[in-house]
Structure 1
Amino acid sequence: MPYKRLDEKVDRLFSVPQWLKSIQDLLLNQGVQWPHAEQLLQGLVKKWYQSDERMSGDEAKQVLYDELLQRLNAEKIHTAHLNGKYMMLVGPTGVGKTTTLAKLASRAVLEEGKKVAFITADTYRIAAVDQLKMYADILEAPMETAYTEQDFNELLQRFSKYDHVFIDTAGRNFQNSGYIAELLQFLKAEQQINMYLVLAATAKFEDLNRVINQFESLHVSQLIVTKVDETATYGTLISILLQHPRLNIAYMTNGQEVPDDLQKAHVGNLINHLLGGSDGQ
């Protein structure tokens, strides 16, 4: 449990800085999980003692910024470039996989002049297939549905001459182990498929953590975070990255507009949002 006063955790002969409680409240209110917040706060107290107890609250925030910047290095949050031919989006229902796929494909076509194709393995939602078909028509790109593993492999071969092939998957209950098993079947293809796990910034830490653990067998290392514009708390994302060091955020989305609302991901901006500052440092 969070402590009310830091001197409940250290020798009572020592005092604690007055700003410590406000920073603790900031981290916890932003959704940083207590084990991570405690480590950060203990580091601040150590720095405070090293400064002969002269470090101010503003200086402490700068120290906290630098510490998070070091822990969440540039490889953790970066604007990715489309690498490889095949890009598959997976994740729970309702996180915006289809719209995000359309944004990525539109950027590739409109900004990079790439030739793209779509494959959907979402045979559960007619609306999602229709939505992707609409985007494909706008981009004048082919789109096909894979009903079976054989269909999927044949479509990979058919689209092998395209620069990028964007693969949509069904949004289903992530706690259903059968869903993961289906995705594993698709990954048996000979072609190298780059997989991205799509998560909503509005979700609770516990739910995000369960999703990540459920998808662990797929060896996903790249995240796409959606609905960034629908939250004012960013500590959950910070804690997820601290909890799962192997994960990187490749893209963030901040709205429904295609292709505009594909946000540049930058670690410094995320930390500034957490600490209540403006973008950049």
Structure 2
Amino acid sequence: MRVKRYVVDSMPEALGKIRTELGQDAIILNSKPIKTGGFFGLFGKQQIEVIAAIDEKTSERDDPPIRQQEMRSGPNTFAAKQAYQRSAAPTQPMSAERQKQVVPSAAQPFGSQAAASEQSQPDRTSADAEPVRTGKAAVAENEELVHELRDMRNMFQKWLMNDRGNHLPPPVQAVRERLLQQEVEEETAAEIVKELLLQSEHPEQLSEPEAFQRTAVILDNMLQKAMERPVRIAPSVKYVFFFGPTGVGKTTTIAKLAADSMLKEKRKIGFITADTYRIAAVEQLKTYANILNVPLEVVFSPKEIVQAMERLSSCDLVFIDTAGRNFRNDQYVQGISELVRYGGNSVNYLVLSLTSKYTDLKAIIRNFQDVPITQVIFTKADETEAYGAILNVARSTDLSFSYITTGQNVPDDIVVATPRLVAKMILGDKAYA
């Protein structure tokens, strides 16, 4: 199957080129008015984009002498010129109704369009008529071609945004570079830039601060769904579970939230740790327990957690630290699932480090998909300069975000994750300059 794209000033020109280059068996997959010469079609010269295709197997069955004769004779565009004469002038804007009359429908056989043009000329003599092929073999593959065309367009858009960003207005190009530097996925960055261009009547006149401000609003809208749930632990919640890979900062995060709940909300706090695998893990949480003067229970298996919960039944809120091990270990994830099921009215936090690569974050989330995750806490924001992973996770999952930790100080270095905050982290101070 051979597919070719034409950008022309009029349909007669397109029909002539298609007949000459692809032959009478070609089909037109799609045609639409476009603007060229501007930034992504937002302004510029009015033209027509035509996508045509030919089934090479059908083409091979044609009689070569006849094909050569047709090509030598050149396209007879009399009927096409008569049918599309009003659209031939590129300076004339076309109405929606007129476009329906002028622009052929997607995947309509080329021969059928020629026949339709001939029918529109009742006074045309038989001498003027040309033989028209039906193109049945190509029509039979219409559905497959439509899918192929859609894939081609997606690839074209991605190529256009990724490899030709230097053709963007400088302020928009600065936004794009910032997004990629922040490790925002290329597809998401392309979507943001496209939205920024569509929102700007004259994108070439944007200043850089204005471009960043408008991008911040776009990011805010993208992040709203991930941050719409209440962050505060409800009074009805009894148990709070923390799980995630090793070294993400679960224990320190527990200490921060426990101190906040005790000092600001006056709740009676208790600790349970199941992290008996990591060296000094119990001692770390025990140190925090002594500072806050709260009880601590240590469990070595999921079954022991029931007794630990009973011993802490007088507490308003119990924070449970799970072992941080290799998230690819299925037994570890199963153990987390078993622990969590003992907590009835609980909140379950998946803790992720912003120093991790996004590919690793996706794998972590996928491996914990059988654990009921209430919200996500992002840690170690102070140890990286790239925050695009937050947006990537928001775009690729239905998870809700709660907190972002910004250092080791207890209980201060933790903030509520908001769309405005994340947008500013990604875009920098320019977002609200």
TM-score clears 0.5: yes
Q: How does 1:143-222 map to 2 (within 5 A)?
A: 143-189=296-342, 191-222=344-375
The answer to whether the aligner puts 1:277 opposite 2:429 as a matched pair is yes
Distance 1:79 1:254, change over 3 A: farther
Once the 2 structures are TM-superposed, how far is the Cα of residue 73 of structure 1 from its aligned partner? 1.2
2:222 is aligned to 71
Is the contact between residue 212 and residue 430 of structure 2 (CA under 8 Å) also seen in structure 1?
A: no
Is the contact between residue 117 and residue 159 of structure 1 (CA under 8 Å) also seen in structure 2?
A: yes
2:249 pairs, out of 78, 81, 96, with 96
1:59 pairs, out of 203, 210, 214, with 210
The answer to whether the aligner puts 1:47 opposite 2:199 as a matched pair is yes
Once the 2 structures are TM-superposed, how far is the Cα of residue 146 of structure 1 from its aligned partner? 1.5
The more displaced of 93-102 and 143-152 is 143-152
1:262 is aligned to 414
2:291 pairs, out of 138, 142, 164, with 138
Distance 1:58 1:257, change over 3 A: closer
Distance 1:147 1:23, change over 3 A: same
Task: Show CA shifts across 1:194-228 (max 9, x none).
Answer: 11011111111111111111111113141111111
C-alpha distance in 1 between matches for 2:257 and 2:287: 15
% same residue: 37
Point out the structure with the larger helix share.
Answer: 2
Once the 2 structures are TM-superposed, how far is the Cα of residue 177 of structure 1 from its aligned partner? 1.0
2:396 is aligned to 243
TM-score normalised by L of structure 1: 0.88
Distance 1:183 1:69, change over 3 A: same
Once the 2 structures are TM-superposed, how far is the Cα of residue 259 of structure 1 from its aligned partner? 1.2
C-alpha distance in 2 between matches for 1:109 and 1:23: 43
1:24 pairs, out of 176, 185, 194, with 176
User: Unaligned 5+ residue runs, structure 1?
Assistant: 8-14
Larger RCO, structures 1/2 (Cα 8 Å, 6+ apart): 1
1:5 is aligned to 164
2:259 pairs, out of 106, 110, 127, with 106
Once the 2 structures are TM-superposed, how far is the Cα of residue 57 of structure 1 from its aligned partner? 3.4
Once the 2 structures are TM-superposed, how far is the Cα of residue 249 of structure 1 from its aligned partner? 1.7
2:141 is aligned to none
Distance 1:250 1:219, change over 3 A: same
CA RMSD of aligned residues (A): 2.3
Looking at CA atoms only, which structure, 1 or 2, has the larger radius of gyration? 2
1:234 is aligned to 387
1:34 pairs, out of 186, 204, 217, with 186
State the AA in 2 paired with 1:64.
T
C-alpha distance in 2 between matches for 1:221 and 1:108: 18
Is the contact between residue 79 and residue 251 of structure 1 (CA under 8 Å) also seen in structure 2?
A: no
C-alpha distance in 1 between matches for 2:255 and 2:168: 51
C-alpha distance in 2 between matches for 1:137 and 1:187: 25
TM-score normalised by L of structure 2: 0.59
1:12 is aligned to none
2:233 is aligned to 82
Is the contact between residue 69 and residue 267 of structure 1 (CA under 8 Å) also seen in structure 2?
A: yes
